[in-house]
């Protein structure tokens, strides 16, 4: 009897399996959504918007361990002895399509951002959200997509311009779109963003793109377009457009409250994040979204400043050290210099973290980069004295007001010559740094030199100079040179092929996957 029961039960079980197999085979993950169930609520749309920002902190763009700081090492300002992210190969002219690091990384992370923005713009509209809020969200996404595409075209030239959500079947074999068309789309997105975005946010939304961010990025895009690398015809109109775009940001100051932050060194400290000078920055937060800025500055020294940079700082009198009247003392080379030197570089004889700096403290070049670390002359508190990988949370500033002032100065000088507004913009920056104003009479060319120097000094260590020497087309001179330690000892000889090295190659992997992608010349 019992046995019969067992058989009946087993037979019943098998029938049960047979009859409701459909439901038995349905399984779902409990840790991720699927597309069909996701786009339903405002919270989901908000999360998707956040997801559009996330690539900003990736290693290919402005985060990773210290990508933006290492970008400085592709310029004559600094040296990366361990070739982190492949930046030293770029400095040496050894980058290749199959290089690893930043070249495939930036390409990938930018397109990740582009894809998310495109998905957002295609799907978020289905969800009922208050129009005002949704407009702002769309504005943010247009800004981000412009930023990602700008980074792409800036390094790789023309790239496939895709504005629809990711679709393997229709997008995989698209060839490169002419760079000009990509730039046109970037400007279009930025104009849309500028209309949709607010001037400022409440405390909880600090870090989102603003109208000022959109207009500032536009100024940068136009400045690059006007520069010799891209403006091969030497069109003055392009410079005019760039100057106008920068000026538009300056004129907006009453609404945006943009101004220079008083303390140049403190501008880069976590305590002063999102101050009035910051137009757009990458928001890092410990422990979830951290970088290694402090570790590489304090210990790894993979963004070691070079002698050439240290010597570029003027005396605090405003004279270059090469001027016989400057009072520069070879035996005490770090006395009476531009205060920004002390805010940026640690040098032998300096005091750093409460300890006198020997020439072996930063053994690579003798110099350390203190900008973007939390460390300075004083001994840090115990809990902060040894931040390791991923433990830094200082925001990386993508756009700041000083940049707008110097963009304006540069573009206006090229467009109209050295007028008073040009000097005023430069001098505003110099004044904050504690440097005497430029008061002499300058012609366009001599002022151009000073503006270039001012940019180099003001933004030293921030990863801007590599793009400056590219767009000025001076890299073939600046990067075809030996580099030296503080003591004038040669480290290596760099090389730059003007026919090839102004642009990065399309990563080999991408050309393997999509043979329609044409390679940049020379690679």
Partner 1 sequence: MKFTIDRKTTSSRPALSAVGTKRALLLLCFSLMNFALFAQTDVSGKVQSAADGSPLSGATVHVQGGNQNSLTQNNGSFTIQASQGDSLLISMIGYLSQTVAVTGGSVGTVSLQEDANNLTNVVVVGYGTQKKVNLTGAITTVDMTEKEGQPITNASNALHGTPGLFVNLSNSQPGVDRSTIRIRGVGTLNNSDPLVLVDGVEYSLDELNPNDIATVTVLKDASAAIYGSRASNGVILVTTKTGSGKAKVNYNYYIGSQKPTYMPDAIWDPITYMKLKNQALRNEGKDAVDYSDEEIAEYEAGMKTDPFTYPSSNWFDIALKNGQMQKHDVSVSGGNDKSNYRLSLGVLDRDGIIIGPGNSEKKYSIGLNTSYHVTKRLTVGMTLDGYYRKYTTPFYTSFWSYLMRALPILTDTLKDGRYGNSWLRTPGRNNWENPRMIAYTGYGHKTVQRFVASAFAKYELPFGITYNAKYGIDKYDGLLEEFSPQVKTWNPKTDDFINWNSPATAPRSANTDYNNLNVHFYQTLDWVKTFNGDHHLSVMVGNSYDHFETKGFDATMIGYLDGTLTALDAGSERYDIGGRSTEDVLISYFGRVNYDYKGKYLLEGIIRSDGSGRFDNGRRWGQYPGLSAGWRIDKEGFFPWKNTFDLFKLRASYGKTGNQAVPLYSYENSIDLGQNYSFGDVLAPGAANTAYTDSTITWESTSNYNLGLDMELLNHRLNITAEIYKKRTTGILREVDIPDQVGGLKGPQQNIGVMDNKGFELSLGYNDHVGEFTYGFNGSFSYNKNEVVDLEGQILYDFGTNLSTITMKGLPINSHYILDAIGIFQSDEEVANSPFQSNSTKAGYIKYRDVNNDGIINADDRVIIKSSSEIPKYTYGFGINMGYKGFTLTADFQGVGGIKVYPEGNLTFPFNNGAGATWEWAKDAWTPENPNARLPIVTTSTGGQDNFKDSDFWLRDGSYLRMKNIQLAYQLPKKWMDRIKITGMSVYVNAENYLTFSKYKDFDPETALNVNSLYHYPMLKTLSAGARITF
Residues from 300 through 329 that contact partner 1 (CB under 8 A): 300-301
What is the distance, to the nearest Å, from the Cα of residue 55 to the centroid of all Cα atoms in its chain? 12
> Between residues 63 and 418, which has the closer beta carbon with respect to partner 1?
63
> Between residues 33 and 329, which has the closer beta carbon with respect to partner 1?
33
Span of 192-200, 224-232, 372-380, 486-494 interacting with partner 1 by CB under 8 A: 486-494
Instruction: Note whether 99 and 144 are within 8 A (CB).
Output: no
Question: Sign of the C-alpha dihedral, residues 194, 195, 201, 205?
Answer: negative
Query: Which residues make Cβ contacts (< 8 Å) with residue 353, sequence separation at least 6?
Result: 298, 375, 376, 377, 378, 379, 380, 385
- Which H or E run includes 102? helix 102-123
Residue 115 binds partner 1 (CB under 8 A): yes
Give the C-alpha separation, 226 to 209, whole Å: 25
Residue 487 binds partner 1 (CB under 8 A): no
Query: Which position among 65, 71, 72, 92 is part of the footprint of partner 1 (CB under 8 A)?
Result: 92
User: Coil, helix or strand for 100?
Assistant: coil
User: Coil, helix or strand for 146?
Assistant: helix
Q: How far is the CB of 427 from partner 1 (least distance, A)?
A: 34
> Between residues 21 and 132, which has the closer beta carbon with respect to partner 1?
21
Report the DSSP pairing between strands 304-305 and 78-79: antiparallel
Q: How far is the CB of 39 from partner 1 (least distance, A)?
A: 9
Q: Tokens for 248, please give them.
A: 């538009």
**Buried b or exposed e, range 341-367, using 16+ CB within 10 angstroms:** bbbbbbbbebebbeeebeeebbebbbb
* Binders of partner 1 in range 117-176 (CB under 8 A): 118-119, 159-160, 162, 165-168, 171-172, 174
Q: How far is the CB of 285 from partner 1 (least distance, A)?
A: 4
Span of 112-120, 230-238, 308-316, 436-444 interacting with partner 1 by CB under 8 A: 112-120
Number of residues that bind partner 1 (CB under 8 A): 116
* Binders of partner 1 in range 375-414 (CB under 8 A): 382-388, 391
Q: Tokens for 459, please give them.
A: 């933004």
* Alpha helices by DSSP H, 124-235: 131-156, 168-171, 179-196, 211-226
Nearest of 221, 219, 220, 197 to residue 210 by alpha carbon: 197
Q: How far is the CB of 349 from partner 1 (least distance, A)?
A: 19
Q: How far is the CB of 32 from partner 1 (least distance, A)?
A: 5
> Between residues 250 and 387, which has the closer beta carbon with respect to partner 1?
387
Give the C-alpha separation, 143 to 185, whole Å: 11
Query: Which position among 490, 498, 518, 521 is part of the footprint of partner 1 (CB under 8 A)?
Result: 490
Query: Which position among 127, 244, 248, 509 is part of the footprint of partner 1 (CB under 8 A)?
Result: 509
> Between residues 60 and 461, which has the closer beta carbon with respect to partner 1?
60
Give the C-alpha separation, 507 to 306, whole Å: 30
> Between residues 301 and 427, which has the closer beta carbon with respect to partner 1?
301
Span of 185-193, 296-304, 330-338, 425-433 interacting with partner 1 by CB under 8 A: 296-304
Q: How far is the CB of 247 from partner 1 (least distance, A)?
A: 30
* Binders of partner 1 in range 61-90 (CB under 8 A): 81-83, 89
* Binders of partner 1 in range 231-290 (CB under 8 A): 273, 283-285, 287-289
Q: How far is the CB of 195 from partner 1 (least distance, A)?
A: 22
131-156 and 42-53 helices, crossing angle to 10°? 20
Give me the residues paired with residue 397 across strands. 281
Span of 179-187, 326-334, 372-380, 508-516 interacting with partner 1 by CB under 8 A: 508-516
- Which H or E run includes 478? helix 475-478
Give the C-alpha separation, 495 to 298, whole Å: 29
Give the C-alpha separation, 520 to 523, whole Å: 6
Q: How far is the CB of 215 from partner 1 (least distance, A)?
A: 21
Instruction: Note whether 475 and 82 are within 8 A (CB).
Output: no
Residue 518 binds partner 1 (CB under 8 A): no
> Between residues 50 and 251, which has the closer beta carbon with respect to partner 1?
50
Span of 15-23, 217-225, 237-245, 401-409 interacting with partner 1 by CB under 8 A: 15-23
* Binders of partner 1 in range 20-59 (CB under 8 A): 21-22, 24-36, 38, 44, 46-57
Question: Sign of the C-alpha dihedral, residues 202, 203, 207, 213?
Answer: positive
Angle, CA 431 vertex, CA 429 and CA 436 arms, to 5°: 115
**SS3 track for 327-366:** CCCCCCCCCCECHHHHHHEECCCCEECCEECCCCCCCCCC
Query: Which position among 497, 498, 518, 521 is part of the footprint of partner 1 (CB under 8 A)?
Result: 497
* Binders of partner 1 in range 333-372 (CB under 8 A): 360, 363-364
* Binders of partner 1 in range 432-461 (CB under 8 A): none
Give the C-alpha separation, 199 to 508, whole Å: 42
Q: How far is the CB of 225 from partner 1 (least distance, A)?
A: 23
Query: Which position among 42, 93, 129, 244 is part of the footprint of partner 1 (CB under 8 A)?
Result: 93
């Amino acid at each position: 009897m019992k046995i019969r029961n067992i058989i009946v039960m087993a037979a019943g079980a098998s029938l049960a399996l047979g009859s409701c197999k459909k439901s038995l085979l349905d399984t779902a993950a409990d840790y991720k959504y699927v597309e069909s169930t996701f786009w339903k609520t405002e919270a989901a749309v908000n999360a998707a918007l956040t997801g559009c920002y996330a690539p900003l902190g990736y290693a290919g763009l402005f985060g990773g361990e210290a990508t933006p700081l290492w970008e400085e090492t592709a310029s004559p300002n600094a040296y990366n002895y361990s070739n982190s992210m492949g930046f030293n190969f770029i400095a040496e002219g050894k980058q290749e399509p199959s290089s690893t690091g930043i070249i495939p990384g930036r390409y990938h992370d930018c397109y990740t951002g582009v894809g998310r923005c495109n998905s957002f713009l295609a799907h978020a509209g289905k969800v009922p959200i208050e129009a005002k809020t949704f407009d702002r969200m769309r504005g943010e996404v247009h800004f981000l997509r412009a930023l990602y595409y700008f980074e792409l075209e800036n390094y790789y030239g023309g790239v496939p311009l895709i504005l629809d959500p990711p679709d393997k079947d229709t997008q995989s074999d698209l060839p490169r779109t002419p760079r000009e068309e990509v730039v046109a789309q970037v400007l279009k997105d930025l104009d849309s963003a500028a209309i949709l975005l607010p001037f400022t946010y409440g405390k909880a939304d600090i870090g989102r793109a603003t109208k000022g961010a959109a207009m500032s990025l536009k100024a940068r895009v136009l400045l690059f377009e006007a520069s010799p690398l891209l403006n091969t015809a030497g069109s003055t109109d392009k410079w005019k457009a760039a100057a106008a775009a920068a000026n538009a940001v300056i004129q907006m100051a009453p609404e945006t409250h943009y101004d220079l932050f008083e303390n140049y060194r403190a501008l880069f400290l976590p305590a002063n994040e999102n101050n009035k000078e910051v137009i757009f920055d990458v928001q890092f937060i410990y422990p979830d979204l951290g970088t290694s800025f402090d570790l590489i500055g304090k210990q790894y020294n993979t963004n070691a400043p070079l002698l050439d940079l240290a010597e570029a700082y003027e005396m605090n009198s405003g004279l270059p050290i090469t001027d016989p009247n400057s009072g520069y003392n070879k035996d005490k080379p770090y006395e009476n210099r531009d205060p920004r030197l002390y805010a940026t570089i640690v040098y032998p004889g300096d005091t750093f973290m409460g300890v006198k700096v020997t020439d072996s403290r930063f053994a690579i070049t003798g110099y350390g980069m203190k900008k973007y670390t939390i460390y300075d002359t004083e001994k840090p508190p115990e809990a902060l004295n040894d931040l390791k990988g991923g433990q830094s949370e200082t925001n990386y500033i993508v756009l700041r007001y000083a940049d707008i002032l110097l963009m304006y100065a540069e573009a206006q000088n090229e467009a109209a010559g050295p007028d008073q507004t040009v000097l005023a913009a430069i001098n505003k920056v110099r004044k904050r740094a504690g440097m005497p104003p430029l008061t002499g009479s300058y012609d366009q060319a001599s002022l151009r030199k000073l503006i270039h120097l001012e940019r180099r000094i003001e933004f030293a260590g921030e990863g801007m100079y590599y793009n400056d020497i590219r767009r000025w087309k001076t890299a073939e001179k600046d990067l075809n040179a030996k580099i030296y330690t503080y003591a004038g000892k040669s480290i290596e000889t760099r090389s730059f092929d003007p026919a090839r090295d102004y642009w990065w190659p399309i990563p080999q992997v991408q050309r393997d996957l999509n043979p329609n992608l044409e390679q940049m010349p020379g690679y």
